[in-house]
Structures are given as structure tokens and as C-alpha cells.
Amino acid sequence: MAAVRDLYEILGVTRDASSVEIKAAYRKLARTLHPDVNADPADQDRFKEITGAYEILSDPAKRRRYDEFGAAGPPGAPFGDIQDLFDMFFGGGFGTRSRGPRSRVRRGEDLRVRARLTFAESVFGARQELQIERLSACDTCGGNGARPGTSPTTCRTCAGAGEVQSVRRSIFGTVMTATPCVACGGTGEEIRDRCDACGGEGRVRTSDTVSFDVPAGVVEGMDLRVGGQGNDGVAGGPAGDLIVGIEVEPSEAFVRQGEDLHGVLDVSITQATLGGDVEVETLDGPERLRIEPGTESGTVLRLKGKGVPHLGRRGRGDLFVTLHIITPQDLSKEERSLLERLAELRGEGAAGNGGVPRNLRRPEFRQ
Ligand SMILES: [Zn+2]
Ligand SMILES: [Zn+2]
């Protein structure tokens, strides 16, 4: 039986190589070995080999299992998709799978759900609780599918071999063929007395509350993987994962740009002219902002570190506040006469400009 070469060795990377390094190593090799550019059969086998290795090492879950168990897979269980991949790329018979029954043990399926967060929850992170429907191991039979007090027995059709052999005569002589046993699905086991609770499946549909932490700084459209909270496995196999699609409610106050937040603050014409302090509501609570006397509309003030935390590392973005100066529109008689008096003092005609056309000036574009 041929031994499978170490996958890291195949790609020429170390065991602690990052996903970027693995991808780069594969690309580099694939460029010279790809069948489109290289017809040498030896190179084509090598191309299959590096592609097989890359398929496994580029998938975090498969890589983890490979690191843990090697190509042979967990003890007492088939390696599932990894072994299948080897078979696909190397035409089977390569690797360590022995002929005989397949184990019934299977990993549970991943489940996909959505979680809707408030804007503040997406910024600071939050513990979430969700009600989900999933397949859980049957309590009645302990997951093996057999009526309590009985257990799965050797398949009568294949006598536990998991495959059925037949002999055909042909012009070339006697040909022996083996096909997977249909009666037991190739597992070599049959359940004669099925569990009433699960009908022999070993799993039942349940509605469960799952809770998990959403890290600070997530964005709309991101997927979170919650390990082991998907469907339970079959016959004691590991549970699948829960994939949580993140949705974020827009904020009334802020627009997020990367890790910075942007908001607009309305300032009265007198405040902008005379200056003063204003309190503004940030995600961290009220903050004092200084408005300098003579502030122009469009001035941007920066509150350092009041933005969104960097996802998965320290530090936060900033909060930028654009000042918008409001021109009053509902003047009382008294206010109007005060403003007219001001215009007079400043030599500014209340309306028009005495027939002298004013000059424009070039605009300044920000950013
Ligand atoms: Zn059951
Ligand atoms: Zn069978």
C-alpha cells in the first residue's frame, strides 16, 4: 500500500505556513505544472498531487483534521471528504483506506442562520442567543438508531463486508466485481429493530437555544462560524458548525467607513459665531466638543478613538463630526430687527449689494 506523502512537503511549505504562503506556494508550482502548459505525464501526476494537497491545506477545517489525524483520518472513522479527495485526484487505491465496510459515523451538517444586530452591538460586540432548528442525537437510542435494548447487527446481505461480490464469466475469463452493499449502505451493519423516536436515523429534529459571542467590529454580510452548533453527527460523529450571517441595523446618527464613524452636528449661527462647548452623544456616551468662535459650516472635528474597534486586534478608529451651521428660518419680529441692526453695524446690506456685482472665488475641494 503506497503511503501518502506529507502534504506540506508536497507544496514545499512548513507545517506552520500561513494560508497566504500555502496559496503562493501552490500558485508557483501550478504555473509550471499545469496540464495546459505542460504535457509531460510525470508533471501531470505531480500537478494532481499538488492540487490534492492544496485542496486540503487551503480549507481550514480539512487542514485541522489533517494536522490532527493525518491522511488516514480519525481512528475508527473514514476520513470522509479528504479520503474522497485523494481518491478523486489519485484514482483511488492510493492512501490508506482498506476495503471493507464504511463506518456509519458521519460529521453533522453545517447550518446557516442570520443574526440581526443593532449598530452598537456590531461596534462593541454582543452575546447573542438564537432559537434554531437542528438535528440532535436521539436520546432514546443514544444515536445508534436501534430500539433500546437492541443494537445494530451485522448486515445479513453482505455479512458485514459492506460490499457484495459477484462473479461474471466473460470472454476474458472469470471476472470478480465488488459493489457497495445496498441493504446497509456499505456500512456492514443493519438495524433490525428501529428506534421509535428517530425511525432509525439516530437523530431527531429539535428546537434549541444557542448562544455565542459576536466580536466587536463586525460588519454587515460577515459570516461567523460557531463550532459544533450545527447538526449533531451521525452515529456519534462530530457535530457540524453553525454559520451565522451578520446583519447590522443602520444607525440614525453614524455612517461607518472602515473603522471610522462619521456624523453631522447641527450648530446654530450664534454658537458658530460666538463659540462654546456642546455635548454630543457618541457610542461611548456624551462627549464635550469645543466650537471655536467663527467656526465655518463644514468644519470637521475628530474624536480620536471613538470609532469602531479593530476586529480581532487592539485599537479603535475615530469619530469625525462635520459641523453644519443652521441658518434660522422662522425669525420673530424682534430677532429680525436685531439681525438687521447687526447687518447695519457690519455694513452688510440686508438684501442686494448696492448694484455692485460681487466676485466669485475658486472653491476648495476637500479630500
Ligand atoms: Zn433513536
Ligand atoms: Zn450490507
- Cα 82 to averaged position of ligand 1 atoms, centre (Å): 29
pLDDT of residue 319: 97
> Residue 186 CA: which ligand is closest?
2
As a whole number, the mean pLDDT across the chain is 85
- Cα 191 to averaged position of ligand 1 atoms, centre (Å): 11
| CA pair distance 278, 288, nearest whole angstrom | 6
pLDDT of residue 354: 63
pLDDT of residue 41: 72
Task: Give me the phi and psi of 197, to 5 degrees please.
Answer: -70, -35
- Cα 156 to averaged position of ligand 2 atoms, centre (Å): 6
- Note the pLDDT tens digit of each residue in 5-51: 788 888 889 888 888 888 888 888 887 777 666 667 777 778 888 88
| CA pair distance 149, 44, nearest whole angstrom | 54
pLDDT of residue 132: 96
> Residue 136 CA: which ligand is closest?
1
| CA pair distance 217, 312, nearest whole angstrom | 8
pLDDT band at 83 (very low <50, low <70, confident <90, very high): very low
| Better-predicted residue by pLDDT, 138 or 95 | 138
> Residue 184 CA: which ligand is closest?
2
Mean of pLDDT values over 242-253: 96
Give yes or no for residue 90 having a pLDDT over 80.
Answer: no
pLDDT band at 78 (very low <50, low <70, confident <90, very high): very low
- Note the pLDDT tens digit of each residue in 271-323: 999 999 999 999 999 999 999 999 999 999 999 999 999 888 889 999 999 99
pLDDT of residue 367: 55
Task: Give me the phi and psi of 272, to 5 degrees please.
Answer: -65, -35
- Cα 213 to averaged position of ligand 1 atoms, centre (Å): 32
Residue owning grid cell 472513522 = 77
CA 248 vs CA 32, 116, 121, 215: distances in Å: 45, 6, 8, 13
> Residue 101 CA: which ligand is closest?
2
- Note the pLDDT tens digit of each residue in 114-132: 999 999 999 999 999 999 9
- Cα 226 to averaged position of ligand 2 atoms, centre (Å): 36
Least confident of 25-29, 40-44, 219-223, 327-331: 40-44
The answer to whether the beta carbons of residues 180 and 163 sit under 8 Å apart is yes
pLDDT of residue 45: 78
DSSP collapsed to 3 states, the chain: CCCCCCHHHHHCCCCCCCHHHHHHHHHHHHHHHCCCCCCCHHHHHHHHHHHHHHHHHCCHHHHHHHHHHCCCCCCCCCCCHHHHHHHHHHCCCCCCCCCCCCCCCECCCCEEEEEEECHHHHHHCEEEEEEEEEEEECCCCCCCCECCCCCCEECCCCCCCCEEEEEEEECCEEEEEEEECCCCCCCCEECCCECCCCCCCCEEEEEEEEEEEECCCCCCCCEEEECCCCCCCECCCCCCCEEEEEEECCCCCCEEECCEEEEEEEEEHHHHHHCEEEEEEECCEEEEEEECCCCCCCCEEEECCCCCECCCCCCECCEEEEEEEECCCCCCHHHHHHHHHHHHHCCCCCCCCCCCCCCCCCCCCCC
Residue 283 burial (CB count, 10 A):
17
- Confidence (pTM): 0.60
CA 367 vs CA 199, 261, 300, 364: distances in Å: 66, 16, 12, 10
Least confident of 35-44, 79-88, 332-341: 79-88
- Cα 137 to averaged position of ligand 1 atoms, centre (Å): 8
- Cα 101 to averaged position of ligand 2 atoms, centre (Å): 8
- Cα 166 to averaged position of ligand 2 atoms, centre (Å): 14
pLDDT of residue 280: 95
- Cα 241 to averaged position of ligand 1 atoms, centre (Å): 22
Mean of pLDDT values over 101-126: 92
